[in-house]
Structure 1
Amino acid sequence: MKMNNPDLESSVAAGFTDAGPAKISANKVSVYYGEKKAIDEVSIDIHTRYVTAFIGPSGCGKSTFLRTLNRMNDTIPSARVDGEILLDGQDIYRSKMDVVQLRARVGMVFQKPNPFPKSIYDNIAYGPKIHGIAQSKSELDEIVEQSLRRAGLWEEVKDRLTDSGTALSGGQQQRLCIARAIAVDPEVILMDEPCSALDPIATARIEELIDELRGRYAIVIVTHSMQQAARVSQRTAFFHLGNLVEYGRTSDIFTNPRKERTKDYITGRYG
């Protein structure tokens, strides 16, 4: 994949020699809101083997770019996306793309937990029902249990599946939302600051969960916390003013950044 910035190209290449083929490849992606350019020609590869963290100061474009990966920006009338985003080599912005199916393959977990006003069971069962994944009640039961187990929530809720999902604690609600995303058997999970509304104990549980899910799904997490990025990710992308400044191994980004802007952000000179 040809990249715009030769320094960035070598940085990515150095960090991904053992990664295998990219699950998602973005090539010169720009995002506009009306006339305002929010993202400027970002090129990046996302791999299943790693958790990838997007970091940068508020308003830098990291969440905006995350939303391009499953076309969530389509919901904003003034938004326009230029460039190419490939999922397993297929352009997700092509006219024939089924966006509903795309969002089943590329799930999203939002900043604020948003369980449906339904029972815990129905929160998980909703996706498999509408996508025709389960052919019987027993299959649906199995999907619900497996999804809740993978999200580390089964033991806490197995005796109260008929209770409302909104009755759970904040951390449990976020794990419920992760279980809901998992239930449709996605290939990619996007997480937009999933711990920002949670207490430290709930945050630690979500971070443990991300580590447990690593390798099963390609996971991308936007985080305002550099400490969290260092804990949960193996690859980190630093965004600033709509640009992807640097992308590589998390350990390299935090201990030996190649760009001065990255170093200034990591050391707290701005942000």
Structure 2
Amino acid sequence: MPAPEPQDTAEPATERAPKMRASNVSVFYGDKQALKDVSIDIHDDRVTAFIGPSGCGKSTFLRTLNRMNDTIPSARVTGHIELEGEDIHASAMDVVQLRARVGMVFQKPNPFPKSIYENVAYGPRIHGLGDGKSDMDVIVEKSLKRAGLWDEVKDRLQESGTALSGGQQQRLCIARAIAVDPEVILMDEPCSALDPIATAKIEELIHELRGRYAIAIVTHNMQQAARVSQRTAFFHLGELIEYGKTKDIFTNPREQRTTDYITGRYG
């Protein structure tokens, strides 16, 4: 199988400090080590893709970035993760606030069983954003516009979010993440449950959101990684094998294991 060709995704010109920095991060579930000494920077002017075979640790790593692994009783995380220079495991770090700053979009669209409007308004309301209904109306409209959904739902905001198509539900979940004005958006295989047309819309949306938010995406689809990202990290058996510019990873990988995965020898 030929390696996917990366698109011309306009390499960022500036070398700014990363929005998030992970250093020597390991994750254990009980006695089992799922991730070994991973160090990656996440920048706000580029999309970073995590690729690798199933069970290689890419989703586990993504979930360390907003402490989602805290919800698993047996999980233990070592190493250091910073958001804007702040240690996300520091005692002063409010986890609820962290997850507002570092939003998550899951593999399967998971809108709340509420109206489209309430799906988007829920986060801003619990975080005390906006005074009164007119402010909330503005937040909801802006978030739905940024998620590329406004024109499709503006006349049906009181209908249930679960009545939308799968692709629309996923864009609603992205609008919900955007509504609390995050700094980072994590996407865990956001297109794996969607058809090709809905997938293309989500990919287009990722392009539009780049530069406004730092974006990290886990994908099992190498063509997708090549299309949407400027940086790619290849994981295998819990280790970060290679991390660099997407075009280099796909056209001139340094590691034999990366070459083998990208050319379809395993995975």
Matching residue of 2:19:
23
Residue 240 (structure 2) pairs with residue 244 (structure 1):
yes
Q: RMSD of the TM alignment (CA)?
A: 1.1
Aligned to 2:170, the other structure's residue is in SS state helix
TM-score, with length taken from structure 1 = 0.94
Matching residue of 1:56:
52
Conserved 8 A contact 1:235-1:248:
yes
Q: Which string of whole-angstrom CA distances, capped at 9 and with x for unpartnered residues, describes residues 119-160 of structure 1?
A: 000000000000001112101000000000000000000000
Aligned to 1:176, the other structure's residue is in SS state helix
Query: Comparing 208-217 with 88-97, which one deviates more in the overlay?
Result: 88-97
What code does the residue aligned with 1:153 have? Answer: L
Matching residue of 1:143:
139
Conserved 8 A contact 2:12-2:46:
no
Partner Cα separation in structure 1 for residue 180 and residue 108 of structure 2 = 21
Matching residue of 2:8:
none
Query: Structure 1 residues 243, 267: CA separation in 2 closer, same or farther (over 3 Å shift)?
Result: same
Matching residue of 2:72:
76
4+ residue segments displaced more than 4 Å: none
Q: Which runs of 5+ in 1 are unaligned?
A: 1-14
Partner Cα separation in structure 1 for residue 182 and residue 143 of structure 2 = 11
Q: How far did 1:17 drift?
A: 8.4
Conserved 8 A contact 1:191-1:219:
yes
Matching residue of 1:261:
257
Partner Cα separation in structure 1 for residue 192 and residue 109 of structure 2 = 10
Conserved 8 A contact 2:121-2:140:
yes
Conserved 8 A contact 2:12-2:45:
no
Q: How far did 1:97 drift?
A: 1.1
Aligned to 2:207, the other structure's residue is in SS state helix
What code does the residue aligned with 1:134 have? Answer: G
Matching residue of 1:198:
194
Determine which structure has greater relative contact order: mean sequence separation of CA pairs < 8 Å that are 6+ residues apart, divided by chain length. 2
Q: How does 1:176-187 map to 2 (within 5 A)?
A: 176-187=172-183
Residue 38 (structure 2) pairs with residue 42 (structure 1):
yes
Matching residue of 1:157:
153
Q: How does 1:205-216 map to 2 (within 5 A)?
A: 205-216=201-212
Aligned residues: percent identity? 79
Matching residue of 1:169:
165
Q: Which string of whole-angstrom CA distances, capped at 9 and with x for unpartnered residues, describes residues 73-128 of structure 1?
A: 00000000000000001100112210000000000000000000000000000000
Aligned to 2:35, the other structure's residue is in SS state strand
What code does the residue aligned with 1:262 have? Answer: T
Partner Cα separation in structure 1 for residue 34 and residue 142 of structure 2 = 39
Conserved 8 A contact 2:26-2:78:
yes
Aligned to 2:185, the other structure's residue is in SS state strand
Conserved 8 A contact 2:19-2:41:
yes
> How many pairs does the alignment contain?
257
What code does the residue aligned with 1:66 have? Answer: L
Q: Which runs of 5+ in 2 are unaligned?
A: 1-10
What code does the residue aligned with 2:218 have? Answer: V
Aligned to 2:128, the other structure's residue is in SS state coil
Partner Cα separation in structure 2 for residue 131 and residue 68 of structure 1 = 22
Residue 266 (structure 2) pairs with residue 270 (structure 1):
yes
Conserved 8 A contact 1:105-1:185:
yes
